[in-house]
Amino acid sequence: MCENIKVERLILITPGVGSLHNILELVGSIFSLRRLEIYANELEEKMQTSTVVMHQTKIEQFILQSCSSISWSDLSYMLPGLSNIHFLDITLFYENKNCFFSFTFPNLRHIRLTLLELPFESIIQVVTTTPLVTKLTLNGLVDDEGFVVSHKWSNLFNLCPSLGVVIVNLSLDENKNTFRNETIQIALREINLNLRCLDDDHDYYVTEENHQRWWKLSGMIARHHDLPQKKIKNKF
């Protein structure tokens, strides 16, 4: 009877992701598997790579939440195993690696990223490797001022013609008054983003201009269509 059981969703809890390549190779033999979730709550210095070519799997949804340092380029080692995914949810850490990526995810439609101090250029690299993605969701903590430059967000849609919507929910820290610039605030509101200070004690900051502040950048940026905005939202 066990031979007739089909596993479509598998959740794995593991200390780290050092052997992620081997894990994917192992579970890839489950031909009925469509959704794989991996949660790793211990820190490993780096992900182990393998010279063995991974077999193609049927996995369509892949969730990887980890405390280990993972960059977008690390996924290139597992491309055969991830070539059929439509939805990717992953935590990405910033690492100084070659910014040129020569691989693409051909079937990826929705990406949900938890960012930990990635520069905005990493987001550009992500959309250029996902030619058919329609929805991008960004959460987490960043410290790059590029995230408050409105034309960079607009440029994402030019780089990825299939991209329809970007959902933003990011925390930023800033020890200057740069983010209070009214020009920045207005430009962000024009693309439906809101930037606000989370601990805004005006009297205190007047005397402590270099005090660290926490900011929240949130909103949804949609590609401009001739269709009404309500229809655009329902599409996703």
- Determine the average pLDDT of the residues in 198-217: 64
Q: What is the DSSP letter of 106?
A: T
Exposure of 154 by Cβ count < 10 A (0-12 exposed, 13-18 middle, 19+ buried)? middle
Residue 98 confidence (pLDDT) above 60: no
- Check pLDDT > 90 for residue 95: no
The first and second tokens of residue 154, run together, are 């607009």
Segment 143-171 mean pLDDT: 92
Mean pLDDT value across the chain: 79
Bridge partner residues of 92 (DSSP)? 115
- pLDDT for position 232: 36
**What single-letter DSSP state applies at residue 47?**
P
Question: How many whole angstroms from its chain centre is CA 121?
Answer: 12
How far apart, in whole angstroms, are the C-alpha atoms of residue 113 and residue 139?
A: 6
Distances 90 to 37, 57, 82, 168 between C-alpha atoms, Å: 10, 18, 13, 15
Most confident of 102-106, 146-150, 216-220, 221-225: 216-220
According to the model, what pLDDT value does residue 96 have? 54
pLDDT at 61 over 80: yes
Which of 2-16, 131-145, 180-194 tops mean pLDDT? 131-145
